[in-house]
């Protein structure tokens, strides 16, 4: 059983939902990322999504776009991102790490080389935002052969039949995008999300994590009532931006923010 599967199985037995924070690798500087990952775990993270910086993050709003710019300006590459995961793994062998990003950096790295390096670094899953199901056949066997769970996005506009097809090719969990828009949007309709998640549960047994638009403890608690996992990204990345010139203050800030989300989810 993979680390992702073990995590969701344990949480299900405890009657809890996964808290899945996202940060961009190398933001505000590559030297800080492994420490920030540990700070997220200290705050209650069950799975970490680590963004692979890219110059054209088309599904992301301005907060994460600027994070990618900061990371790239600081010299973050995909190879350095994998080194961050390896550094994190020196003292944390249990928390799953999912790389999230776009296809171009992986293509430039080389798919086979990337999969091998990701496995060696201790990556558990890969979510490639712009990899459609129709183009995935040549990628998925390479990833799964290295123990990397292919994780897919589903959106409010994804037909149920297509959701079922995507679920057949996915593993780990499914990431349901809670709204029509980019990361950081604020118009979350929990009732609408609940209906879609319920429909999705009818076509797959995979855990369903919900992200986009979750920015505070109250929203996290509401989503935890309907999903198996709660993904929080832009709210954390915005805090990193606010303290980019004071990186020594970041670990405590992220731990406190995530602890508040975790407590709200567990107290619902």
Determine whether 60 is an active site residue: yes
Which H helix or E strand runs over 150? Answer: strand 149-150
Give residue 186's pLDDT. 54
Name the active-site residue from 49, 124, 168, 242.
Answer: 49
CA distance readout (Å), 131 to 21, 137, 153, 180: 22, 10, 10, 18
Any idea which fold 3-258 has? TIM Barrel (3.20.20)
Task: Flag the least confident range among 25-39, 99-113, 190-204.
Answer: 190-204
Q: pTM for this structure?
A: 0.95
Name the active-site residue from 5, 6, 27, 60.
Answer: 60
The DSSP 8-state label assigned to residue 50 in this structure reads E
Cβ atoms of residues 262 and 17 within 8 Å: no
Cβ atoms of residues 96 and 4 within 8 Å: yes
Q: Show me where the domains of the chain are located.
A: 3-258
pLDDT tens digits, 144-171: 999 999 999 999 999 999 999 999 999 9
Determine whether 135 is an active site residue: no
Give residue 187's pLDDT. 61
> Which of the four pLDDT bands, split at 50, 70 and 90, describes residue 32?
very high
pLDDT tens digits, 63-99: 999 999 999 999 999 999 999 999 999 999 999 999 9
pLDDT tens digits, 44-68: 999 999 999 999 887 788 899 999 9
């Amino acid at each position: 059983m993979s680390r992702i599967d073990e995590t969701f199985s344990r949480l299900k037995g405890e009657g809890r939902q996964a808290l899945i924070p996202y940060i961009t690798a190398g933001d505000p500087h590559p030297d800080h990322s492994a420490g920030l990952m540990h700070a997220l775990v200290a705050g209650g993270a069950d799975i970490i999504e680590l963004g692979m910086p890219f110059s054209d993050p088309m599904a992301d709003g301005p907060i994460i776009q600027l994070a990618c710019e900061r990371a790239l300006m600081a010299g973050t590459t995909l190879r350095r991102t994998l080194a961050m995961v390896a550094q994190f793994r020196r003292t944390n062998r249990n928390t799953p790490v999912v790389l999230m990003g776009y296809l171009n950096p992986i293509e430039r790295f080389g798919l086979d080389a990337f999969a091998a390096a990701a496995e060696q670094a201790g990556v558990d899953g890969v979510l490639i935002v712009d990899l459609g199901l129709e183009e995935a056949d040549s990628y998925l066997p390479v990833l799964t052969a290295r123990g990397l769970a292919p994780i897919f996005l589903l959106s409010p506009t994804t037909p149920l039949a297509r959701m079922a097809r995507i679920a057949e090719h996915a593993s780990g969990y499914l990431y349901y995008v809670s709204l029509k828009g980019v990361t950081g949007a604020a118009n979350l309709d929990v009732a609408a999300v609940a209906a879609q998640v319920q429909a999705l549960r009818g076509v797959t047994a995979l855990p369903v994590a919900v992200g986009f638009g979750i920015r505070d403890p109250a929203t996290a608690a509401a989503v935890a009532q309907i999903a198996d996992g709660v993904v929080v990204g832009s709210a954390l990345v915005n805090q990193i931006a606010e303290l980019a010139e004071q990186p020594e203050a970041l670990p405590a800030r992220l731990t406190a923010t995530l602890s508040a989300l975790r407590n709200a989810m567990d107290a619902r």
